[in-house]
Amino acid sequence: MDAHAVTIVDRVTLDADDATGWLARLRAEYAPAAAQRGMRLTGTWWSYVGPAEVEVTATWELVDIAAFWAMRRAAAQDPAVRDWWAATDAIAIARQRNVCGRP
């Protein structure tokens, strides 16, 4: 990626029993459609943040800010994206998305 790339960092805290299934669905369901919107899944990790809680981190890259805004437009028009995050919110303890770029 060049100096103008955009990185998105998603962090989703889940009950440990839900983490494996959610991550599998992310890879099988969300990631292919995200790729069509210009996002490239660059990594996934998880860490225990409590006795029974896991924080899953997924990182995505887009080639530049124009690609980011095109992705946002496409995502806003796709009911499957809203449904995905609604289903995530139904089981998530917390979630956060950070959009990062280089100055």
Task: Give Cα 84 distance to the centre of its chain.
Answer: 10
- Domain range holding 11? 6-101
Give 38-76 pLDDT, tens digit per residue.
Answer: 999 999 999 999 999 999 999 999 999 999 999 999 999
How many whole angstroms separate alpha carbon 61 and alpha carbon 42? 7
Domain CATH number, residue 65: 3.30.70.100
Q: Is 39 part of any domain?
A: yes
Of the candidates 46, 53, 60, 55, the one whose C-alpha atom is nearest the C-alpha of residue 9 is: 60
Instruction: Give the containing element (helix H, strand E) for 78.
Output: none
Q: Is 42 part of any domain?
A: yes
Looking at the DSSP bridge assignments, the partners of residue 23 are none
- Looking at the structure of the chain, the number of domains it has is 1
Instruction: Give the containing element (helix H, strand E) for 80.
Output: helix 79-91
pTM reported for the whole predicted model: 0.91
pLDDT score at 89: 97
Q: Is 91 part of any domain?
A: yes
97's tokens: 């998305």
Q: Is 83 part of any domain?
A: yes
Q: Is 68 part of any domain?
A: yes
Q: Is 60 part of any domain?
A: yes
Q: Is 1 part of any domain?
A: no
